[in-house]
Structure 1
């Protein structure tokens, strides 16, 4: 019996660990572009799922942005069927006309398609192939944007996406390992030219910044950045729990928040309370920035009779005596 590749083994162990934590009902669907990361993940799911009493399928999204994209998507689907994955689905999406830049628009279209596919197949979870290298790049991009702890926590292993658990089993697996796994399994990954296109910030980080950091600080820098994300995420979880209790304590019967209760909170907790409340009011999370939370905070800690704080989504918050209230339209 031939020895198994260490990279193949590591990825299978990561997938097995994730599958053991998921609800038993419904298949798990691997989001697979055909690149090395998602292809290695899909191959591991095809091996591990039936041995764990699970059903694993695959969804590949054709964004229609490159010549031959439809043919590549069909090739991924054919491979998945041969590998024993089921259900297998190719989803074509329309990226043009969506808000944001091309990268953000493609991401929005892709995740929308994945959620819809998960609904059609009553999936227990969606699995994506984000690696430790992706996590390090995410932390660097967050630093460049001046993001707070939530941004520096990077990508969570698991989060809710439209009511479906989105799980990233490979966040402790390197990109080098996924490539080695594909080579060991004689799989030929697709090389997405967008990953090398300098028009995209992540591509520049991947091609220029990370190699420069490795050369300057040593090869451990990628692991250290990913570890930073895990440590900050753990701290965030505690602060979010504290903020949840503080939000309950600050609630006023009229739907507002008591400013005295808010003012007594530590700033890090108060900011989270205000952010969570803004989400409840209907402000889109992706559009809610530090300056919006700072404007709300000023109504609590620097009250001088100023006017409303304006939030994304066309919302306004005002202070009336001892509480914050959403202003009527």
Structure 2
């Protein structure tokens, strides 16, 4: 609430748009969301409430229905919350999202990442500003607007925010779930609060924030180094979702991005996060697994083998490529098919590419929709049923090298309903048109594939 007031004073309430995501975990959450809406109306800020539906909360993770398991509840809730935020931004043309993270949240994040052995970069805590590209909406507009996440209250302690609300007669609500000791972050919050008055305690909030500041200085330097190495030693393939890193310095020695342990850790972290499309950085143990594979290759290249962690596989260098990072084959249900899509609509596939299909000027459009399947899903659906389609997909599959993750590649299909039956025809795979029927070769089907922003960059068109 303090953030809403400050933002309305800084830029004007008519330029603000507030969103409350009601997770629906507590009986009183709906009532509190409505109370927030009344406060926003009082401030003159347009407000929207989105309540998450957990009745079919599989979220593509192999779960059935209902709430996710407790150990993954916070992670999945965060993913869905940010997906709603990004979706709202693109529907209303919003380019900046402000969140109310404060100094206490930063201190908790430092301790949480310390316990996770996140390393220097992770213990630098939350940044004041970061691109909001981790979560992608299922629907994507024709013109995507890059969105930045800003945390303007990070320097301020919670007591200051309370004082703002009191002086402005603004009511606020305390989330009762913040006291739930089953969650690690809540236990850390309670621990910090007990030490807040002890300046000699290492768990004093000021001590924790000073450590964050020190780590942020290291992070700034590492960021510059990583940026330089990406420009000279990395190849990002947005079509296939792979990254290739240089294998040597040109003289069979360690590549430049791997000579410094801190820089190497960050290069690997950014590459893994880019490839697996997850909204959070990989754990240090996963990065160390990749690091050991690198060291093993440079000491015993003859016995080097691929290594997998965090949903990513690293393939040792060959005569054709350097270190290649690609997706692990997803679990069943990780990538769900998309069906019954109207022509002209755009959807996000595999959290990394937006696909839009238009079919103008054809008499079949009125009885047709388009859909998306993964390659393996499409092969299974047409196994022994439509052999010519299966053969076309098999030929398209040859465009990939054997090591490439193929199951995540999208197959675009047209589904046509007539008086007697419904027929589904693949029309595109891996950017290669599949002419299943003579009329489809000349019917004006337009398929656009757009890579979403990565590593802080804006979206870039890759296939049309």
TM-score computed with the length of structure 1 as normaliser: 0.77
CA distance 1:299–1:252, change in 2 (3 Å): farther
Partner residue, 2:247: 258
Query: Which of 70, 77, 84 lines up with 2:37 in the alignment?
Result: 77
Distance 1:201 1:116 in 2: 29
Aligned residue among 283, 291, 303 for 2:285 = 291
Secondary structure, counterpart of 1:102 in structure 2 = helix
Q: Please say which of residues 160-169 and 288-297 is displaced more in the overlay.
A: 288-297
Structure with bigger strand share is 2
The equivalent of 2:228 in structure 1 is 245
Asked if structure 2 preserves the Cα contact closer than 8 Å seen for 1:214 and 1:220, the reply is no
The 1:49/1:216 distance shift into structure 2, 3 A limit, reads closer
> Which structure would you say has the larger RCO, counting Cα contacts within 8 Å and 6 or more residues apart?
1
CA deviation after TM superposition for structure 1 residue 226, in Å: 1.8
Q: 1:307 matched to which residue of 2?
A: 305
Q: Hey, what's the Cα distance between the residues in 2 that align with 1:297 and 1:115?
A: 34
Cross-structure match for 1:55: 15
Shift of 1:76: 1.0
Which residue in the other structure is 1:22 paired with? none
| TM-aligned CA deviation for residue 318 of structure 1 | 2.1
Q: Closer, same or farther in 2 for the Cα pair 1:309/1:130, shift >3 Å?
A: same
Q: What aligned pairs does 1:109-124 form with structure 2 within 5 A after superposition?
A: 109-124=80-95
Structure with the larger helix share: 1
List runs of 5+ in structure 2 lacking aligned partners.
62-70, 134-145, 237-242, 326-402, 406-464
Cross-structure match for 2:110? 139
Distance, in Å, in 1 between the alignment partners of 2:178 and 2:291 is: 40
Question: Helix, strand or coil for the counterpart of 2:19?
Answer: strand
Secondary structure at the counterpart of residue 224 of structure 2? helix
- State which of 144, 149, 152 in structure 2 corresponds to 1:169: 152
Query: How do 1:80-95 and structure 2 match up within 5 A?
Result: 80-85=40-45, 87-95=46-54
Tell me if structure 2 keeps the 8 A contact 1:153–1:230: yes
Match of 1:3 in 2: none
- Equivalent residue runs for 1:206-285 within 5 Å: 206-212=189-195, 214-215=197-198, 217=200, 221-251=204-234, 255-259=244-248, 260-262=253-255, 265-282=259-276, 284=278
- Go from structure 1 to structure 2 and tell me whether the alpha carbon gap of 1:290 and 1:219 turns closer, same or farther (over 3 Å shift): closer
**C-alpha distance in structure 2 between counterparts of 1:255 and 1:268, whole Å:** 20
Q: In terms of mean alpha carbon deviation, does 96-105 or 119-128 score higher?
A: 96-105
Give the Cα separation in 2 of the matches to 1:220 and 1:190.
26
How far did residue 155 of structure 1 move?
Answer: 0.9
Residues 197 and 43 (structure 1 numbering): CA distance in 2 closer, same or farther, change over 3 Å? Answer: same
SS at match of 1:310: strand
Deviation string 1:145-185 (CA, Å, 9 cap, x unpaired) is: 21111220111111111341111111111101111111111
By how many angstroms is 1:256 displaced? Answer: 4.6
Q: CA RMSD in A?
A: 2.9
User: Within the alignment, does 1:325 sit opposite 2:324 as a pair?
Assistant: yes
Report the CA distance between 1:121 and its aligned residue. 1.6
Aligned residue pairs total 288
- 1:252-280, Cα deviation, whole Å (9 max, x unpaired): 89945223342662121222223333345
* Structure 2 contact 195–203 (Cα < 8 Å) conserved: no
Question: Does 2:121 align with 1:127?
Answer: no
> Does the 8 Å CA contact 2:22/2:52 hold for their aligned counterparts?
yes
What SS class does the counterpart of residue 81 from structure 2 fall into?
helix
2:88, 2:167 → 1: CA distance?
30
Moved more, 306-315 or 171-180: 306-315
